[in-house]
Amino acid sequence: MAAKFLSLACIRGESFGDLSPRPRYPSMPKYPKGVSSDEEKNMEGSEARALFSVTGMTCSACAGSVEKAVKRLPGIKEAVVDVLNNRAQVMFYPSFVNEETIRETIEDVGFQATLMKEETSEKSTQACRIRIRGMTCTSCSTTIESALQVIPGVQKAQVALATEEAEVHYDPKILTYNQLLQTIEDTGFEAILISAGEDMSKIQLKIDGVRTHNSMRMIETSLEALPGVADIDIDPELRKFSLSYKADLTGPRNFIQVIESTGSGRFKAMIFPEGGGRVSHREEEIRQYYKSFLWSLIFTIPVFLTSMVFMYIPGLKHGLDTKVVNMMSIGELLRWVLSTPVQFIIGRRFYVGSYKSLKHGSANMDVLIALGTNAAYFYSVYSVLRAATSQDFESSDFFETSAMLISFILLGKYLEVMAKGKTSEAIAKLMDLAPETATLLTLDSEGNVINEEETDSRLIQKNDVIKIIPGAKVASDGFVVWGQSHVNESMITGESRPVAKRKGDTVIGGTVNENGVLHIKATRVGSESALSQIVRLIESAQMAKAPVQKFADRISKYFVPLVILLSFSTWLAWFLTGKFGAYPRSWIPSSMDSFQLALQFGISVMVIACPCALGLATPTAVMVGTGVGASQGVLIKGGQALESAHKVNCIVFDKTGTLTIGKPLVVNTKLLKNMVLREFYELVAAVEANSEHPLAKAVVEYAKKFRDDEERPVWPEARDFQSITGHGVKATVKNKEIIVGNESLMVDQNVDIPLDAEEMLAEVEGFAQTGILVAIDGELIGVLAISDPLKPSAREVISILKSMKVKSIMVTGDNWGTAKSIAKEVGIDDVIAEAKPEHKAEIVKELQASGYTVAMVGDGINDSPALVAADVGMAIGAGTDIAIEAADIVLMKSNLEDVITAIDLSRKTFTRIRLNYIWALGYNLLGIPIAAGVLFPSTKFRLPPWIAGAAMAASSVSVVCCSLLLKYYKRPKKLDALEIRGITVE
């Protein structure tokens, strides 16, 4: 996954600080010049795709040169080059260009290209998320996971108990998501599809005016005819249509328009009221448990009063002891009648859960509850019936035990579900960032506004133009087409200062416009938006299991059977010792016999054991930890990342864009020959414009100063462009051979370096600057000094890491002089310079071999091998493109302080997981022996089954509440001190 994302970063040639999509301005043509609108329509349907294997590429500059060359061809819609996998994917129009021409163009750039068959190049994989109802403990989730993993075509299946969801990666050519749903249903749980296929947007519409099945079918047929509609699911009872569609081709307003134009306008469509999301499901579950608990109280309170309170009030005791049939009293009959609905109607969920679990060869918490309550209830029934048929048998019932057990367990589940709902508050808060409405603009052919209309923000489609007034939330990802303002992006990126926006700048949905009016063109809507991708990333993180959770999963397989065995052994031991007089008769309470005493001990053991607490120990802490991280601008991708990050004791820092701001500037120029500076920079910029390296961009930006009259200057054509990885570039401009690069490149190209040039290079490196040499026709002409300022907090961050006993190392592709100067300035002792991307990965592996747990912090351009090799990869400066899969942790604010926050938060989270396990295991290890009566011989203390049941319910709640304390996490005070002193990153 890391390689996949970082290859995209290389393709686009951007730092992680600027990953937002490049906007297509209204003035930019979509098709080749001279194509009429009719031809455009024809071309839409004749689009083709070709995949090429490209060998010889070594860095993002190579990929950039291939991409630019291909895009210059007529009829190219899109070209994407993957430098890591040596591939180029091209979308084109066959009427203008063919595969052979594209292949030849790639080879003209200097690389070998081979056309590949796309079908064999990539494995077909689709991901779907499924909500699962009815899970109670880890044995349930393990059962479902095992059932899914054995299905042919399933590549990976994860089931999360805390979120009650499954994420399944499967081959759609082999099976469908309906088969996955059916498998879960067959396992005994309810399955509801959340999403299927990451490239599809999904919306639910409610239709009014539909009266017959034919009307539903007519609407379905009309919608299916729309391009881009992939799947339609209909719920006739709710008049609900669920549509999956490609946002590039259609959108919700089109659906509503088609529906309302079908059937002579008698149908009305609207977005279906929210009801299928995680929040609404959680609220429904809370309501169900609350309702069940209240009903159980209505029956249980009288049972409790008649058995434990009224028996001590003389008048009431006499009435309750009045015999009805033989020795059966009114009190016993009343308790039997009242406890029966609790046992079989309100407690039905435990029977259903037990049956489903046992049916598939596993045992869960429901089995323990059902066995315990049934033992108490049916023994009581036996006792009462025997009293009713006997003239001298004094019965003793446990009806209050079964009724109170179920009531307390329902109370515990109610509190547990409420607490679990709070663990995912971070996602709910993120979802609330999206505004409910948006102002949609209608423009004429010249771009003038001719109409404004307020609409539901969920109806926004790609390429819509939206008006954002001061104080309003941005309704969609897009770019500014008119106006200027400042936008507060802290809620998405964590950046505290408002960011200036003007025409052409990108904006993120959910951020707040502060002062001016903006017109935004929507580019990413629905599931493509940054907000949706952040939510999806956090949800995926909460799905992923930490390795430490395997411990609980292993225990869960044997926990319930072991508890049942212990319970039976406890009953048998007390019964036999009592039967044979192994303990004094005085130990047995006056209202019981040895069998009843033994039965109470056995039931207490059965109901006090709690597999839920163990199962919730890790996932709830991970859920809260990842949510808190997201609110701090640190996206931690699940339990694996958390577990690895808390062990980190060595951090490898990239230099450019990580320790430095990442925006190099040309600060000095020295010409060794007489030459006009404008002409010099025109030649240099012509070459560097073909490179995606940050230093090259700095040179081109500086060269623009000599072209003040042009907003976007066109540089002379550079022929025979060649990028030499880690050294520089060369090309022919105006029939002159231009070489731009470092000292070693000049030596390789047999260019003599004069003494004054070497002195200037030494001086530049002494100031922690980078020196670039420029040669024209084999003669050194100039030296450029480029400075990339340190991030203001870099020195303090390294110092804090030292205090946390974390070793810091800097690895850079820059020269040794600059590297040592930067390292000295920030306080890093270990430096490795002039390192190529693959060399960085080797350094990481060497550190790991030395016993270090290594984190790699980089901006992601050339750091991909190292990020993959490290125990924890941290991508710094994610900007707005949150759909990244490169690193284990994404630092959204580009602040170095967040490296400390990530490590500290992971340590605190893992400490919480340990506390949860200590409590869950300690509770069971102490509770079961006490329930079994180990204290009874010496203290006469015994744990009634209903109290044991309450303790069991409380244990799960306490584990969840322990995890919830992470919500109050505060980052280290030393970081707050940096802010007070004004050390922040622009």
pTM of the model: 0.66
What pLDDT sits at residue 46? 60
Q: Are 280 and 204 in contact (CB under 8 A)?
A: no
The helix (H) or strand (E) run that includes residue 371 is helix 365-388
3-state DSSP of 15-36: CHHHCCCCCCCCCCCCCCCCCC
Active-site positions read 654
Q: Output b/e per residue, 162-182; b: 16+ Cβ within 10 A.
A: bbbbbbbebeeeebebeebbe
Instruction: Name residues whose C-beta falls within 8 Å of residue 432's C-beta, 6 or more positions apart in sequence.
Output: none
- The tokens describing 695, both together, are 């230093």
Neighbours of 965 (CB within 10 A): 13
Q: Which residues of the chain have pLDDT under 70?
A: 1-46, 58-61, 83-85, 117-124, 196-200, 263-264, 272-281, 423-428, 430, 491-496, 527, 541-544, 591, 708-712, 837, 860-862, 864, 877-886, 976-986
What pLDDT sits at residue 238? 73
The helix (H) or strand (E) run that includes residue 608 is helix 594-608
Distance between CA 396 and CA 332 in Å, rounded?
Answer: 9
Helix (H, G, I), strand (E, B) or coil at 952: helix
pLDDT, one tens digit per residue, over 669-706 is: 888 888 888 889 989 999 988 887 778 888 988 888 88
What pLDDT sits at residue 505? 85
What pLDDT sits at residue 976? 64
> Cα-flanking dihedrals φ and ψ of residue 52, to 5°?
-120, 140
Q: Are 612 and 620 in contact (CB under 8 A)?
A: no
What pLDDT sits at residue 20? 32
Q: Are 398 and 380 in contact (CB under 8 A)?
A: yes
Q: Please give the radius of gyration of the chain, using alpha carbons only, rounded to the nearest integer.
A: 35
DSSP 741: E
pLDDT, one tens digit per residue, over 2-34 is: 333 333 333 333 332 332 333 333 333 333 444
Distance between CA 52 and CA 49 in Å, rounded?
Answer: 10
